[in-house]
Structure 1
């Protein structure tokens, strides 16, 4: 009789394997990546799968190495460098089983010089949910045919990702190793078999754990809701099943990485505008003329307003951007007359913005 596999001890081993070759920025990152490796073996148990994103501002930060280690641990890895959307959806729906797709140098696909990759972006977006499909025209008659897109996806690249992918990802912000940080050199011929042995143990454990994971609704940490909850639900379900200290560590990691992603996420340019108006412009006043608002916005350090496509934010664009949001009375935010000592000027009232601030902006900074 085969002895049951201790899931907590197995995840300890997976984490230790990563620690031999990867320097992640936080303890939370090791926990999250080990859970993601395990969840890839249980994809059929979940309604959604988070993307795993290793991102950094500069080369030489260990992103590709992290992806290489993940490759040894997940089922049916498919390294997709410059792969087309057509190749990917045919692989996902192919007879050999669903692959785990690994994108290195994702910035060449979604970066500023990458050109139009909407079809590939659409595939990655659709594939995070079980019901996600990609539609293609097939055959001489060009019949519209749905192809499944649901697959685990891990990426590595410079810079950032489109918001639609970033918000569906567990984000690991990689950085170059410091002089006092050391890792074991990774030799594929020597170390891949070790990773593959762990992969086989994960697959064996997953078969036994499938019934416990299916339909699980893990308790979320306080404050983790909506899309972050969707991202972390499969990982917390895995942690709860393996037991040991993993349920507690997983929730600590969840809170840490969700807060980090929110701190790094400036949101859309519209949300950035609303937030800057609240935190830096309309402070201590209930109204302000447009000319004064523009002066204050364009003078802000580390803000985009002084250079939007080579020109500073102007009255017309400010009105257009704010007009996309609504007041508490469900009317578009618009400039109104403000009486000043010099006459009547157009400007904006804080009361018109309070509802949009509450709905879209992150919490204000503490004094």
Structure 2
């Protein structure tokens, strides 16, 4: 799509994510750098550099370590979010003041262009809704792959790069006028983001139209979206139940994780007693994974007299309680979450 960007009103965003480091996110960006048009692979950049380079060169932005960027200085992360929000649709501008003193004025900087954004965890919801999710897993010890050396791959990728540009050039007019059909159940924004890819697949012919739409259904169709929403719902439910556990015990300074797990499993109208893959109770890993969505981390080992165990401090949870739980209200149980997965 990057080789035919001028034919489209919207640019494609990829959100490349994984639950842990060393799952191949950076390597995927390095391979994309060899294949896309006008690549710009970078990590932490200032907002000023980002908007000026996007405005001057309209590169394909390959942004690594997005989790660090969005969890850093709030002013920077908000500026980055604004530029990514504006840059998926043409003309895609951000307006800033330039100059000093009596010569101060304003300028619109274009942020439009395709982008691949790699990092652990979620993006801000407004950026995520503009992105196609690419979720990576760490390779198992018994999964063997050939080692990729970029210096060796560069020549082959250069030929593919040239072939892509040459193959798309004759289709520019038809891509510009293409109005592809979309699979059912997509939001308007998802259709905007996907239109270039489906138009290219339709122009390629053969089995590409069907393959592209099958990929769309798997990545951002109804089923994929419901799974994501279910995960968000169950995390909120756990946060509410954890708040209730603290209140029932008189709001102590901390609760040990083993007591949290036991307390959750004892709630009769909740999924926690059968939350595991094998129908067993929720475990400490699942609690940590769900709470991580609210930037809540376990406190590590806590000492109480002569006893020590891992747990969570109330102080680390209070911000999440205040932000996400209505006062005096605990989220209702949802039977669709009766069986999920620990770990």
TM-score bracket relative to the smaller structure? 0.5 to 0.7
Describe the superposition over 1:133-176 as per-residue Cα deviations: whole angstroms up to 9, x where unpaired.
Answer: 01121223221111111011102111221111111111111011
Which residue number corresponds to residue 123 of structure 1?
Answer: 83
User: Offset of 1:196 from its aligned partner?
Assistant: 1.8
Inter-partner Cα distance in structure 2 for 1:216 and 1:43: 13
User: Offset of 1:254 from its aligned partner?
Assistant: 0.4
Which residue number corresponds to residue 279 of structure 2?
Answer: none
User: Offset of 1:114 from its aligned partner?
Assistant: 5.5
Which residue number corresponds to residue 5 of structure 1?
Answer: none
User: Offset of 1:244 from its aligned partner?
Assistant: 1.2
Inter-partner Cα distance in structure 2 for 1:220 and 1:207: 24
After superposition, the Cα gap between the structure-2 partners of 1:319 and 1:139, relative to the gap in structure 1 and judged at 3 Å, is same
Query: Residue 171 of structure 1: which of 117, 133, 150 is its match?
Result: 133
Query: Residue 108 of structure 2: which of 137, 146, 166 is its match?
Result: 146
Question: Counterpart of 2:317 in 1: which secondary structure?
Answer: coil
User: Offset of 1:299 from its aligned partner?
Assistant: 6.5
Question: Counterpart of 2:106 in 1: which secondary structure?
Answer: strand
After superposition, the Cα gap between the structure-2 partners of 1:63 and 1:317, relative to the gap in structure 1 and judged at 3 Å, is closer
After superposition, the Cα gap between the structure-2 partners of 1:138 and 1:219, relative to the gap in structure 1 and judged at 3 Å, is same
Which residue number corresponds to residue 67 of structure 2?
Answer: 107
TM-score (norm 1): 0.64
After superposition, the Cα gap between the structure-2 partners of 1:98 and 1:242, relative to the gap in structure 1 and judged at 3 Å, is same
Which residue number corresponds to residue 137 of structure 1?
Answer: 97
After superposition, the Cα gap between the structure-2 partners of 1:218 and 1:308, relative to the gap in structure 1 and judged at 3 Å, is farther
Which residue number corresponds to residue 318 of structure 1?
Answer: 326
Describe the superposition over 1:1-36 as per-residue Cα deviations: whole angstroms up to 9, x where unpaired.
Answer: xxxxxxxxxxxxxxxxxxxxxxxxxxxxxxxxxxxx
User: Offset of 1:201 from its aligned partner?
Assistant: 1.2
Which residue number corresponds to residue 244 of structure 2?
Answer: none
Which residue number corresponds to residue 28 of structure 1?
Answer: none
Which residue number corresponds to residue 353 of structure 1?
Answer: none
CA contact (8 A) 2:29 2:41 kept: no
Inter-partner Cα distance in structure 1 for 2:18 and 2:118: 8
Inter-partner Cα distance in structure 2 for 1:152 and 1:103: 11
**2:170 counterpart of 1:208:** yes
After superposition, the Cα gap between the structure-2 partners of 1:268 and 1:136, relative to the gap in structure 1 and judged at 3 Å, is farther
1:243-254 aligned within 5 A: 243-254=205-216
Inter-partner Cα distance in structure 2 for 1:297 and 1:88: 52
User: Offset of 1:219 from its aligned partner?
Assistant: 0.4
Number of residue pairs aligned between Structure 1 and Structure 2: 269
CA contact (8 A) 2:271 2:338 kept: no
Inter-partner Cα distance in structure 1 for 2:191 and 2:50: 27
TM-score (norm 2): 0.68
1:147-162 aligned within 5 A: 147-162=109-124
After superposition, the Cα gap between the structure-2 partners of 1:56 and 1:215, relative to the gap in structure 1 and judged at 3 Å, is same
- Structure 1, gaps ≥5 residues long: 1-38, 278-294, 323-347, 351-360
User: Offset of 1:267 from its aligned partner?
Assistant: 8.6
User: Offset of 1:222 from its aligned partner?
Assistant: 1.9
Describe the superposition over 1:205-254 as per-residue Cα deviations: whole angstroms up to 9, x where unpaired.
Answer: 22211111003111011222322222222111110111111000000000
Q: Please, which moves more after superposition, 168-177 or 215-224?
A: 215-224
Question: Counterpart of 1:55 in 2: which secondary structure?
Answer: strand
After superposition, the Cα gap between the structure-2 partners of 1:246 and 1:318, relative to the gap in structure 1 and judged at 3 Å, is same
Report the aligned-residue RMSD.
Answer: 3.6
After superposition, the Cα gap between the structure-2 partners of 1:124 and 1:213, relative to the gap in structure 1 and judged at 3 Å, is same
Which residue number corresponds to residue 263 of structure 1?
Answer: 227
Inter-partner Cα distance in structure 2 for 1:74 and 1:139: 35
Inter-partner Cα distance in structure 2 for 1:151 and 1:135: 17
- Structure 2, gaps ≥5 residues long: 242-265, 273-286, 295-311
Question: Counterpart of 1:238 in 2: which secondary structure?
Answer: helix
Greater relative contact order: 1 or 2 (C-alpha under 8 angstroms, separation 6 or more)? 1
After superposition, the Cα gap between the structure-2 partners of 1:202 and 1:317, relative to the gap in structure 1 and judged at 3 Å, is closer
